[in-house]
């Protein structure tokens, strides 16, 4: 890992402090955990769980030709394109189908989700 030049401090509750007591290199553990969390955050809301009105409008537009479905193999949720060349709007049947989610993720007040 590259030379560390910045120090970032944060407060934790006593339970988390006790849980970290047994970790041999807490700094390295925390750095790796933060990097993993940043790598896994939602690209649309950037991990906040909240869309502003402009982002939500883009999501609604995108969801008109995509759906959320469960993978048959690993059961993870995934986005699937259902648009075909020349399609502009989903059919009424598509819009009523399970997994059609024009308003997901929901906008909600800022804060922890």
CB atoms within 10 A of CB 45: 17
- Within a domain: residue 101? no
Summarize pLDDT for 52-98 with one digit per residue, the tens.
999 999 999 999 999 999 999 999 999 999 876 665 555 555 554 55
Same domain, yes or no, for 31 and 57? no
SS3 per residue for the chain: CCCCCCCCCCCCCHHHHHHHHCCCCHHHHHHHHHHHHHHCCCCCCCCCCCCCHHHHHHHHHHHCCEEEEECCCCCCEEEEECCCCCCCCCCHHHHHCCCCCCCCCCCCCCCCC
Same domain, yes or no, for 33 and 67? no
- Within a domain: residue 33? yes
Residue 19: half-sphere exposure toward Cβ, Cα within 13 Å:
7
Domain with 30 in it: 9-40
Q: Which residues contact 6 (CB under 8 A, 6 or more apart)?
A: none
**Residue 44: what pLDDT?**
86
Same domain, yes or no, for 36 and 58? no
Same domain, yes or no, for 36 and 60? no
- Within a domain: residue 21? yes
Same domain, yes or no, for 34 and 59? no
Same domain, yes or no, for 58 and 92? yes
- The mean pLDDT value of the chain amounts to 80
First to last CA, the chain: 31
Same domain, yes or no, for 36 and 65? no
Summarize pLDDT for 100-111 with one digit per residue, the tens.
555 444 444 444
- Within a domain: residue 108? no
Structurally, how many domains does the chain consist of? 2
């Amino acid at each position: 890992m590259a030379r560390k030049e910045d120090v970032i401090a944060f407060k934790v509750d006593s339970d988390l402090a006790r849980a970290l007591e047994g970790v041999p290199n807490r700094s390295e553990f925390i750095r790796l955990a933060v990097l993993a969390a940043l790598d896994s955050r939602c690209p649309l809301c950037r991990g906040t769980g909240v869309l502003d009105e402009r982002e939500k409008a883009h999501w609604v537009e995108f969801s008109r030709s995509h759906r959320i479905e469960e993978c048959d193999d690993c059961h993870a949720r995934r986005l699937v394109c259902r648009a075909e060349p020349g399609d502009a709007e989903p059919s009424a049947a598509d819009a009523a189908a399970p997994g059609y989610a024009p308003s997901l993720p929901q906008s909600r007040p800022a804060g922890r989700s």
